[in-house]
Amino acid sequence: MADRHKDEGQPFTRRPLIYGRAKGKALSPRQQKLFADVLPRIAVPADTPLDPYTLFSDITQVHVEIGFGGGEHLIARAAQNTDIGFIGCEPFLNGVAKTLAAIEEQELTNIRLHHGDARDVLDALKPETLDRVYLLYPDPWPKSRQNKRRFVGGDTLTSLARVIKPGKILQVASDIPDYIQWTLREIAENGQFTETQYSLANHDTPPPGWPGTRYEAKAIREGRTPCYLEFERQ
Q: In what order do the strands lie in the sheet with 130-136?
A: 111-114, 84-89, 61-66, 130-136, 164-174, 227-233, 193-195
b (16+ CB within 10 A) / e for 111-130: bbbbbbbbbbbbbbbbeebb
Per the annotation, the verdict on 139 as an active-site residue is yes
Instruction: DSSP for 211-224, please give it.
Output: ---HHHHHHHHTTP
Cα–Cα separations (whole angstroms), residue 55 to 28, 77, 86: 29, 17, 10
Give the CA-trace dihedral at 12, 139, 145, 233, to 10 degrees: 70
Selected catalytic residue, list 139, 155, 178, 204? 139
Q: Kindly tell me the burial class for residue 52, based on how many C-beta atoms sit within 10 Å of its own C-beta (0-12, 13-18, 19 or more).
A: buried
Any idea which residues carry the catalytic annotation?
Answer: 139
